[in-house]
């Protein structure tokens, strides 16, 4: 038996919860929070679009959208309380988002197994790896939300840096210096077709390359197709300051990796 969730009512709950926090913050934090709010809404739609190719049942497609809406719901408290989006300086935002959804009982009408699957996907969306589970719904929701989160973040960050008139926020940029440097560890990750580790980034160039490196951790061919269609990889690279010839080649390899996986 499947249960239909009223997505519009959940969006209202999300709006009420986030607005109650945003309204109490100063302007720079409001910029970053509005950015995260729009990010969450767009991730929900991307997750829903990916789910059209993965799930048969409409209810499960709704679940993917719900995961997208609430995956970063803890970011607003995180910035208000700690002044940062850096988990190592505050709390694990995946864990906290799952906790907030559970404590507020926004999804209490769902069957326990389905609720557990959604909370698992939210909890692990930001982890280096997803724990392997036998439940197919849980695994697909976890993979879909990771893909949607990465795709939207890559698109929005590429647009953010491509727009010279956009209001900037140190919280979004992690207070990193904006110079021409690229850390050796970042280059090594790209050479090995691996995601860049947050702990190794030291500059905005590193941060942008970290986003590009997420192309190595996408789960579905349709996700790669959506990513390539946005042209965000090329846009992101165009904002890198004074890239070396090797870096240009590495980013071209990353784009080629996406193209190969989109055609599987």
Q: Please, what is the average pLDDT of the chain?
A: 93
pLDDT surpassing 80 at residue 166: no
Tell me, what DSSP letter sits at residue 97? H
Whole-number pLDDT of residue 1? 45
Percent helix, strand and coil across the chain, each to the nearest 5: 70, 0, 30
- Main-chain phi, psi angles of 85, to 5 degrees: -105, 10
Tell me how long the chain is.
264
Q: What is the pLDDT of residues 182-222, one digit of tens each?
A: 999 999 999 999 999 989 999 999 999 999 999 999 999 99
Whole-number pLDDT of residue 167? 65
- Count the helices and strands in the chain (H runs, E runs): 13, 0
Label residue 254 by pLDDT band (50, 70, 90). Answer: very high
CB atoms within 10 A of CB 56: 7
- Main-chain phi, psi angles of 110, to 5 degrees: -80, 155
Q: Give the gyration radius of the chain's Cα atoms.
A: 18
The HSE-up count of residue 210 (CA atoms within 13 Å, CB side) is 18
The HSE-up count of residue 126 (CA atoms within 13 Å, CB side) is 23
Question: Taking each helix axis from N to C terminus, what angle separates 136-162 and 58-70, rounded to the nearest 10 degrees?
Answer: 50
pTM above 0.75, yes or no: yes
Question: Which whole-number Å values give the CA distances from 117 to 2, 96, 120, 139, 140, in the listed order?
Answer: 14, 16, 5, 8, 9
**91 Cα distance to chain centroid:** 17
CB of 102 closer than 8 Å to CB of 108: no
pLDDT, mean of residues 38-45: 97
Q: How far apart are CA 7 and CA 67, in angstroms?
A: 11
CB of 97 closer than 8 Å to CB of 123: yes
């Amino acid at each position: 038996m499947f249960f239909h969730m009223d997505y519009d009512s959940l969006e209202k709950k999300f709006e009420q919860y986030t607005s109650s926090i945003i309204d109490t913050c100063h302007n720079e934090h409001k910029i970053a929070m509005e950015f995260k709010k729009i990010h969450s809404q767009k991730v929900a739609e991307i997750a829903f679009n990916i789910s059209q190719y993965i799930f048969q049942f409409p209810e499960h497609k709704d679940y993917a959208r719900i995961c997208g809406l609430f995956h970063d719901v803890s970011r607003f408290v995180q910035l208000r309380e700690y002044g940062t989006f850096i988990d190592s300086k505050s709390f694990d935002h995946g864990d906290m988002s799952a906790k907030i959804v559970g404590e507020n009982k926004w999804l209490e009408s769902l069957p326990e197994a389905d609720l557990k699957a959604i909370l698992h996907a939210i909890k692990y969306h930001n982890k280096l790896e997803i724990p392997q589970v036998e439940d197919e719904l849980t695994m697909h929701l976890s993979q879909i939300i990771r893909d949607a989160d990465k795709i939207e973040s890559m698109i929005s960050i590429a647009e953010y840096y491509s727009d010279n008139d956009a209001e900037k926020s140190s919280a979004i940029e992690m207070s990193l210096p904006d110079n021409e440097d690229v850390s050796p560890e970042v280059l090594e990750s790209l050479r090995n077709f691996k995601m860049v580790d947050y702990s190794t980034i030291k500059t905005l160039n590193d941060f942008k390359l970290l986003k590009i490196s997420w192309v190595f951790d996408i789960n579905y061919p349709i996700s790669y197709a959506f990513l390539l269609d946005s042209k965000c990889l090329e846009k992101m690279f165009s904002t890198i300051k004074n890239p070396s010839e090797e870096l240009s080649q590495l980013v071209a390899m990353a784009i080629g990796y996406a193209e190969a996986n989109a055609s599987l």
